[in-house]
Structure 1
């Protein structure tokens, strides 16, 4: 749901989304995924934490692991919430309200699947049909694209680029909120953890462009199609406050019909569940490694998993019971996702610098997203609420200024570390 929910909400910023999503996907998201996978291949299939330790040092890895744990937890929670609500609203045709017991039954079944997948290699069996649902998702995006062009295109002719950065109905600032909102539609830090896993399955570096770079371009295309579909419906009068789960159903059934729409919805349901499964399993292994918990024993796996699921249930309950619960959950998830990506971009920059390549291709996106994520969390009530604390409520001035200072530090660190630690990094062979 990442490249779907984010763009649906991001399109509220206006047609500028049709410029920033494809450009950002090419110069940031696809580049991030490509180099993460390729650098892993050149380090014997090493996973991202080991790459962070090698290229950024022992101090940075501690911060990275902290935010990575949070990201994996939030990915798991979000990918229970969104597919669960889609099942309730679009498949069962019920209201996804906190008081509806069906919602909690569906959530419970998803958690049960995660538990079973943790104890048994069920993913090895079900994984064989995952590509089918991936195909559904791509075909549904193509169908929505065709529908927008053939039918809904008329509703896109009155788009205005006047005041292109200030069209959000709530007047939210384009930077940083747009990039936090769209999240996976442009770049995802979670992808780096998966690209390094996939790198172990690739036979030749020649496959890297197709596997890493082009696949993120496909995700960007999917994001654009769903954003366009949502904009058409908003142009026809759909309430702009409509929940993303409802918008998925409206877009699917409007452009693909009842049968095609339901197939698309099923694809949107299944794929995030697979990501949530991966996230919780990865987090369980990280926690077990940190605290030396033997995961070969089933009892230990169950206890470790339960320790993750219990707080996840509390977060889910808050997200369902609070009027702004999902928006808050999504923004924490999106912030963490983009912030984790800045670590990978710094790693890529150091790698390119010490190998004599043009490191600016990753450093510039890294600095930009460092600025976006920090200015957002400095300003947001769910963060430091900095501007309000200094008497500048309603403005991002203080947050922008502080984030800019941190960005200077980001650049200086990459340059200094690349220069002073070059020989040590080159001689460090990951085992």
Structure 2
């Protein structure tokens, strides 16, 4: 296959995802989930001003998009293009349209119809208490991987790109002011957005001119360790604040800024039209590269389908949904936003090089790809297309990556607190938000620094993320399928993707178990076995629940739409 122009990939990919949003999401909303604008959402029913807060759908989209995106839709594609650009491109585009959007919208709908409960709690209602307990184990381990690994990724970026320090931390001040402007002073959202975005980009320019570095050693910690400690302190504080104070406005304004960043990258691609130098199918793989099947489907998780999305959707997003019909925009279009980021990462990591030899030099091993390659390749495209200096281009993309990762990290800590509290309820031990947050941060911090003061332990169990994440996505779709079967709704749009993702994730888990056994990595071997057994058990319980629905009377369509639950205001 001749080397394509990157513009062709961009146009086809964007067109597919937008078609999915305007056509397929409408089918899901009307025929499968039957979203109802009159349904009284949990944010209204349980409005407490802390976690349950009715939120403008554009603001909530910003929260969901930036929380689920993180660095994963950059890292996954940046690694997976080692098999060639075509498999990564197909999995991202098809996965976004038919799986990720359906999964995110479905998780939001499922939580709405169950008082904003998390996916772990939902598993208790629909597949039984044993399934719930095992589900919570999988969820907690997944969140632990995300929080620890993203702390390491962010610290590495802040050390490698010191120009991103000022905009990264300055964004918090902007977010706090945006929150006050929107909720306390009721200022115009469009005006607040414009001022906030201008302030963020001014911080990027300022950061590029005044890079910030930490001392080589402080209290026995190198710069990476110092940043990790600061990040955990920030995440703990952020997870305790009411969502409208920091989480919502930070995610919203970051989401707008990050979408503008994607616009810059795609705009530069439109002007520069760089050639994709990477092969469509790479037949010259390095020796350490694993088989493309099933590893492609777990290497690229976020950006095609991700179980972490269901955790966010049912953990924080569902508690802020103003109207049930907003689930289409927040959930499905949130997945489209992440798909666009993954597509941008594919373009940056395959067309951001001058020659195929240069590309092969970078991709000399399976683990060579990642955020730095995205920043380098994307920076070259932005410089070529828009004439923005290479240093500033790199700062823009590095800041985008850091802000994505940071929003995911502190949302992850908040979600870990929820899980800890749910486990406490099962054990009949009351755990308040402060104790739950302390447990989450202490466990994550202990793992992160378990291998030394540089925080390298944060990546210790990250190799399990791909399979765990996709297994969780399949299990989430299993719960959605049970709900649809109980309501006698169309279920094949959920069941078919569930089976595919489940087969790939179980296959990948078995491959990894074999690899860990051969390498005598007993920690990862043991954890992977635990996750596989727990996931399989939940799967069996889900299948039993699906079969049982055949003997049950269908649930009424208006079961949750009693008169006192309908909205009385516009």
TM-score (norm 2): 0.63
Which structure 2 residues correspond to residues 108-257 of structure 1 after superposition, within 5 A? 108-121=229-242, 124-125=245-246, 127-156=248-277, 159-161=279-281, 170-196=288-314, 197-233=316-352, 235=356, 237-238=358-359, 239-240=362-363, 241=365, 242-256=368-382, 257=388
How far off is 1:316 after superposition?
Answer: 6.6
Q: How many Å apart are 1:221 and its aligned residue?
A: 1.2
Question: Does residue 23 of the first structure (1) align with residue 142 of the second (2)?
Answer: no
Displacement of 1:84 after TM fit?
A: 1.3
After the TM superposition, which of the residue ranges 285-294 and 55-64 deviates more from structure 2?
285-294
From 485, 490, 493, the counterpart of 1:353: 485
Tell me: CA distance 1:218–1:321, structure 2 relative to 1, closer, same or farther (3 Å): closer
- Give the structure 2 partner of residue 43 of structure 1: 114
Deviation at 1:370, TM superposition (A): 1.5
Contact preservation (8 Å) 1:116, 1:122: no
CA distance in 2, matches of 1:203, 1:214: 16
Deviation of 1:36 (Å): 0.8
Q: CA deviation at 1:187?
A: 1.1
The answer to whether the 8 A contact 1:371-1:407 is kept is no
**Aligned equivalents of 1:184 and 1:202: distance in 2?**
22
| SS at structure 1 position matched to 2:488 | coil
SS in 2 for 1:130: helix
Write the mapping of 1:50-61 to structure 2, written as runs, cut at 5 A: 50-61=121-132
Deviations 1:142-166 (A, max 9, x none): 322333344353235x744587xx9
Match of 1:417 among 514, 534, 548: 548
Question: Residues 413, 175 of structure 1: CA spacing in aligned structure 2 closer, same or farther, 3 A cutoff?
Answer: farther
Q: Is the Cα contact below 8 Å between 2:83 and 2:282 reproduced in 1?
A: no
CA distance in 1, matches of 2:127, 2:446: 31
Contact 2:127 2:542 in 1 (8 A): no
The answer (yes or no) to whether the contact 1:54–1:428 under 8 Å persists in 2 is no
Q: Structure 1 residue 311: deviation in Å?
A: 2.5
In the alignment, which residue of structure 2 is the partner of 1:79?
Answer: 150
5+ long unaligned stretches in structure 1:
389-401
- 1:399 counterpart residue number: none
For 1:210 and 1:306, the matched residues in 2 are separated by 32
TM-score (norm 1): 0.81
- Is the contact made by 1:363 and 1:411 (CA closer than 8 Å) also made in structure 2? no
Say whether the 8 Å CA contact 1:55–1:425 is kept in structure 2.
no
Query: CA separation of 1:375/1:410 partners in 2, compared to 1, >3 Å: closer, same or farther?
Result: farther
Q: What CA RMSD, in Å, does the superposition of the two structures yield over aligned residues?
A: 3.8
Measured in 2, the distance between the counterparts of 1:428 and 1:62 equals: 27
Q: How many residues are treated as equivalent by the alignment?
A: 407
Contact 2:239 2:411 in 1 (8 A): no
Q: How far apart are the structure 2 equivalents of 1:90 and 1:3?
A: 20
**In 1, are the aligned partners of 2:414 and 2:437 still within 8 Å (CA)?**
no
Structure holding more helix per residue: 1
Q: Following the alignment from structure 1 to structure 2, what is the Cα–Cα distance between the partners of residues 412 and 301?
A: 33
Q: Whole-Å Cα distance in 1 between the matches of residues 443 and 557 of structure 2?
A: 38
- Residue aligning to 2:43: none
Q: Are 2:502 and 1:378 aligned?
A: no
For 1:395-414, list aligned pairs within 5 A.
Answer: 412-413=543-544
Deviates more, 1:257-266 or 1:182-191: 257-266
Deviation readout 1:308-329 (Å, 9 max, x if unpaired): 244332357499659xx84x64
Q: Provide structure 2 residue ranges, at least 5 long, that are not aligned to the other structure.
A: 1-70, 164-210, 383-387, 521-532, 561-570
Q: Deviations over 1:78-127 (max 9, x none)?
A: 220111111111226889x9998111111111112123234555872364
CA distance in 1, matches of 2:541, 2:446: 33
Q: Is the 8 A contact 1:86 1:269 kept in 2?
A: yes
Residue in 2 that maps onto 1:66: 137
